[in-house]
Amino acid sequence: MSLYDELAAAVRADRAVALATVIDGPGTGAKLLLASGVAPVGSLGDPDLDRVVARDVEGELAAGITRVRRYGPHGEARRDDVSVFIESFVPPPRMLIFGAVDFTAALVRVAKVLGYRVTVCDARPVFATRARFPFADEVVVDWPNRLLDKVGPELTPRDAVCVLTHDAKFDVPAIVGALATRVGYLGVMGSRRTRADRDARLVEVGVREADLARVHAPIGLDLGARTPEETAVSICAEIIAVHTGRRDVRPLGDTDGPIHQQGAG
């Protein structure tokens, strides 16, 4: 099995792997494939360099970072004899959508375009069906807090939780459960008045004000969206803005400065 085949198999299986390639210096083209808990495949041409790169990759891979690092010929720091391109392949980000409503079907479609692995969850078996959400990776009939108990520990800052249930008896446990995770985006659908009522209930069950600030509600950017599809775009636009750290989203035509920010995405 070639190195490429090993890499392709790992990426397809959604295993986190990193491919290190010498792109400048002695041994240009040499490669080392690294995954946590698995023996490395290949070599960069020097055992010490392999060892140092393997150590550095652990951090890059956990954060999903892809970048060039420079070393001495034997992995020495603060040298630039060898440039190593470390490419991290991490599983696709996840989106959990609570509430199997019309808006959900549109949100699933837009989230799939953006590369999310999408789970739809609703406690009502008549609504949470595969037939209604053919594009979802997973449709789960369960209470939000039970699903979050199970998958919450796996959620990362790259992931998103969207609560579209419109019903306090589902919303509150879903939000409380999501706030207990490291999820990077938590949005909740509902009117501004609903939000005020819900915030009061959340505080009653012990949610702190600081945690309430993590909740994006009403969900989405103010695009003037009306249809489920338009709303899905507004939700996904907000998720992108949150991930890239844009707080005050405006048309590019009204702003100055670089369009593509370094380190974003």
Partner 1 sequence: MRELLNDLDRWRRQGKRVAIARVVDIEGSGPRAPGAAMAVSEDGQVTGSVSGGCVEGAVVEAALAALDSGERAVHSFGYSDDDAFAVGLPCGGTIHLYVERLDW
The SS3 of residue 232 is helix
For partner 1, the closer of residues 10 and 186 by Cβ is 10
Query: Which amino acid makes up residue 204?
Result: E
The crossing angle, in degrees rounded to 10, of helices 144-151 and 168-179 is 20
For partner 1, the closer of residues 72 and 91 by Cβ is 91
- For 259, the enclosing helix (H) or strand (E) is none
Told to check if 13 binds partner 1 by CB under 8 A, we report: no
For partner 1, the closer of residues 18 and 148 by Cβ is 18
- Among residues 38, 77, 85, 181, the one that binds partner 1 under rule CB under 8 A: 85
Give the full edge-to-edge strand order of the sheet including 17-24.
Answer: 38-43, 31-35, 17-24, 82-89, 67-71
For residue 218, is the peptide bond before it cis, meaning its omega torsion is within 30 degrees of 0? yes
Selected range binding partner 1 among 19-27, 177-185, 212-220, 222-230, rule: CB under 8 A: 19-27
Told to check if 192 binds partner 1 by CB under 8 A, we report: no
Q: How far is the CB of 264 from partner 1 (least distance, A)?
A: 8
Taken in order 57, 59, 61, 65, the sign of the CA dihedral is negative
- Among residues 192, 193, 250, 260, the one that binds partner 1 under rule CB under 8 A: 260
For partner 1, the closer of residues 21 and 104 by Cβ is 21
